[in-house]
Structure 1
């Protein structure tokens, strides 16, 4: 029989018991069969099938209508999908869910698109903020402002002369005069380890630009500290529901503390999780070998759920440890091979400034060696090509002591691989999680700053796949809106950017690095599963894998390329259970 989508959702929502892959006896009746569909399996041959059968929350058959319907039994529910496209649920390899959820738990965050808008927001906040109290704008990247530059200290002064103001853009940010005075920052303030209190080259006075130096500030609020546990939980559930609406069935939290892990485990205990979470454990990389060893030993915790890599189950699983090796591309602090050009975008005044390296190379080698010895996967925030050189040196060092290929050491962001570094990744089995939305949002400004020759190797997806496995992620940090968030987490935008390499302000960056439809879909499904040692469980629609699938409103393989970014998800199913249904 042929049923409307609402009826399809109702039938798929029937709860089923948990079951391990392959536990279903061969030929036994399925709980559910969806047929007359265009099923993009994303298996090794990218097979396009007609039907799929589900039992016990797992896929038990994929193939032709006739073959799959052989699994029909007296109690099997049979659904006619009427030609709709079915594919694996999508996977975002880089999110920060607890912070993103908390960011708008109280009120929506402003979307500031120019320096006058920044000033207007600060003036408005100054009217209701007691004098002397901080006004903070968080994760506002200058590459996305109309002026394509940081606001200056003077511009922040003009907006709020009596309030300390911080314009925060990740590792780098600008403070106004009141903020410097309130914190006692002067021309004599020394640079912190791996950071800079930028001084005027003529007067020696602080310019207001701080790079990895927020520790010199006093009294800056952390953000989100006024939320109750119940509010944080509600916000997280709201965010996960939004993720489901765009087809996400798995995410990776790319820098989780124990509290974040416990939040996911609590939702799992209450049967409230609507997607699967791979948890990267944030790790302090600085210290002696013995200190690092004790930190590794402490990570699992008394319950054993905190590590090592692979600990957990199909709902909440531990991934790599995560460290921060350098700064960021979007704030001019990534560690590059060549100096950053001087200019107002990032307020660079030093001819020799190459960015910031947070971990000394020898320290990084010790960390990589200890991680490999304990069978922990390791990933490092690595934005600049100079930082990638240092990271791969450390990975090669660890590999000589303990082979790392099977551990799948990773590079997070990996914006500028060279041909030589791609060859090193292939040899070591190193993979990467990349953020296509950065190419869309920030490629134009970076092209103007760095020039075409240096930007040739910015996020070269096709070249990456010629050597190793990379997966697509968002680095979602703030806001719920999938397009206006910092950073945009809309997976269909990411897929479309991988297909077109279009820039938001016009133009195309290095079209030879664009992916095919098949490659771009793999980027957000099976590739991300591989990054997290989960490719045997999910990422494709194959017998024995988890029944995580979506139904979409268009033919992904044949629709016009610009229609991909507007894809609507009609149904999202996780473990055989409907978690989202379009009305």
Structure 2
């Protein structure tokens, strides 16, 4: 019996699928796996979001996934068999926009207020640190907290901080808008007037017109003040970097896309480079570079990248392109001047001609048309669709802006900044407008690639599960639900933002981001089931076993014994 043309096409597709499946089974059966994870709920995050019981690993890559019995048959004589006990496994998470290299440099010497529930507890951490520090040594809280997380709902005041650390200069930064300095800190930094904290900063004065120790400032001003603090030694930078990346591993993070940014200079990368050379990195790093100073951005980046072609590096660390701040004079938090637009166009045209991926910080939707106009013009000469250019932040993106971004193949990097600033957003734009910010569901319906991340650690927590929870429920750290459910992604979509989509942003989607045969065995075994746990509990999830390339980089109960093997 002859089949119609449509029937022949369907049969051909079916036959091809059978051949591929048989070929895959033959290849898998010929493999000898060195690690088998079985009796679990493995979220592969493949195109069908299939769920498997087990997976087999050989030489750091996934050989196959499927039923536990089938995967066990692939085990070699000396294979490590890990009973998951029904636990959920996800692809290792990749933070698509984080200032991780910068955070790592000082992680071992800073006081961390991320997730601390009360101001009393936060101040106790200052007190405890002061007891162990030498007089005159700095105590630094570099960000990642907000008063909304504290039960007291207030920020510290200079007098109470000075009282618990009288012999140490103390620096406490709130996001990128506020700074507290104790008297010893003001003296050490020689700050006497607004001229010492400008442009962008203003001293708060008391009734006698003397500085209180509080400085209201923007990111540029705070960055300049932060740069005056004593720098950790290289030994401290290496120690802090190891600790920070292990902290990431405990949260299921196996990769980051680092955005460069404020206070990042060529010397700032030396610690991560050394860990890379010494094969001590436990996260995969895709990093961006920006000019360290305003006025000569393009020339500086052209010079810095002469020996950094697109993709330079290896599977553990590679250069991903310029970003996130391309033109310092127009940091695109407000209106961009004609001169700034011309400089941005020149920079982006050069990046396109070289085939570089870029990340670009842009906040207001009312001006993003200037950026899109520039990209559309460049696209006539240098197609940008395959360059994976990313627009970061842009929480109030309109549907029209998202459509234009989609037409150019731009990626939208959405961080969880409004988890910390949702209440302020409601005051600024009103409750109804805030319900639409950010339009994640709309962007996904349009087919836009939306990638997840945190922008940590100065402006937010680096915890990816906090970010995932916020994507799903739109509720701030203070408990206010600001975004409506109509713009929420599904659980599957949110996980894709932090896995396959962020790996795509890093130009690594052919190597990681899903748990499919041939890809790196980057994965996290979770403390709770991401798909079924109450949304309000997702932020509490941790990894109990994290692997990068099949090597154990983090292990907690009941897998602690795996941390004692040669992989550690």
Shorter chain as normaliser: what TM range?
0.7 to 0.9
Decide whether aligned partners of structure 1 residues 252 and 183 sit closer, same or farther in structure 2, where only a CA change above 3 A counts: same
Task: Check whether the contact 1:326–1:358 (CA below 8 A) recurs between aligned residues.
Answer: no
Normalised by the length of structure 1, the TM-score is 0.74
Task: Say which is worse superposed, 558-567 or 238-247, in terms of deviation.
Answer: 558-567
Decide whether aligned partners of structure 1 residues 32 and 142 sit closer, same or farther in structure 2, where only a CA change above 3 A counts: closer
Decide whether aligned partners of structure 1 residues 488 and 165 sit closer, same or farther in structure 2, where only a CA change above 3 A counts: closer
Residues in 2 aligned to 1:238 and 1:462: alpha-carbon distance in whole angstroms: 36
Q: RMSD of the alignment, in Å?
A: 4.4
Offset, 1:533: 1.3
Residues in 2 aligned to 1:473 and 1:414: alpha-carbon distance in whole angstroms: 13
Decide whether aligned partners of structure 1 residues 165 and 582 sit closer, same or farther in structure 2, where only a CA change above 3 A counts: closer
Offset, 1:322: 0.9
Offset, 1:440: 2.3
Residues in 1 aligned to 2:531 and 2:407: alpha-carbon distance in whole angstroms: 33
1:275 aligns with 2:249: no
1:251 aligns with 2:231: no
Offset, 1:141: 7.2
1:431 aligns with 2:404: no
1:396 pairs with 376, 383, 387, which one? 376
Flag the structure with higher helix content: 2
Give 3-state SS (helix, strand or coil) of 2:318's partner: strand
Residues in 2 aligned to 1:189 and 1:236: alpha-carbon distance in whole angstroms: 31
1:451 pairs with 409, 430, 433, which one? 430
Task: Say which is worse superposed, 451-460 or 227-236, in terms of deviation.
Answer: 451-460
Unaligned runs of 5+ in 2: 1-26, 163-167, 206-210, 558-568
Residues in 2 aligned to 1:581 and 1:326: alpha-carbon distance in whole angstroms: 42
Describe how 1:176-255 pairs up with structure 2 within 5 A.
209-211=216-218, 214=221, 222-225=228-231, 227-255=232-260
Aligned partner of 1:534 in structure 2 is 508
Aligned partner of 1:341 in structure 2 is none
Decide whether aligned partners of structure 1 residues 74 and 371 sit closer, same or farther in structure 2, where only a CA change above 3 A counts: same
Decide whether aligned partners of structure 1 residues 185 and 552 sit closer, same or farther in structure 2, where only a CA change above 3 A counts: closer
Task: Say which is worse superposed, 83-92 or 361-370, in terms of deviation.
Answer: 83-92
Residues in 2 aligned to 1:27 and 1:77: alpha-carbon distance in whole angstroms: 18
Task: Check whether the contact 1:185–1:216 (CA below 8 A) recurs between aligned residues.
Answer: no
Give 3-state SS (helix, strand or coil) of 1:388's partner: helix
Task: Check whether the contact 2:326–2:347 (CA below 8 A) recurs between aligned residues.
Answer: no
Residues in 2 aligned to 1:361 and 1:397: alpha-carbon distance in whole angstroms: 12
Offset, 1:231: 1.2
Task: Check whether the contact 2:161–2:182 (CA below 8 A) recurs between aligned residues.
Answer: no
1:500 aligns with 2:473: yes
Unaligned runs of 5+ in 1: 1-23, 201-205, 328-332, 337-353, 479-485
Task: Check whether the contact 2:149–2:477 (CA below 8 A) recurs between aligned residues.
Answer: no
Give 3-state SS (helix, strand or coil) of 1:93's partner: strand
Residues in 2 aligned to 1:442 and 1:502: alpha-carbon distance in whole angstroms: 10
Give 3-state SS (helix, strand or coil) of 1:507's partner: coil
Give 3-state SS (helix, strand or coil) of 1:278's partner: strand
Offset, 1:508: 2.0
1:335 pairs with 317, 333, 341, which one? 333
Offset, 1:501: 1.4
Aligned partner of 2:3 in structure 1 is none
Normalised by the length of structure 2, the TM-score is 0.75
Aligned partner of 2:10 in structure 1 is none
Give 3-state SS (helix, strand or coil) of 1:421's partner: helix
Decide whether aligned partners of structure 1 residues 198 and 45 sit closer, same or farther in structure 2, where only a CA change above 3 A counts: same
Residues in 1 aligned to 2:494 and 2:538: alpha-carbon distance in whole angstroms: 11
Aligned partner of 1:264 in structure 2 is 272
Residues in 2 aligned to 1:38 and 1:209: alpha-carbon distance in whole angstroms: 49
Decide whether aligned partners of structure 1 residues 323 and 108 sit closer, same or farther in structure 2, where only a CA change above 3 A counts: closer
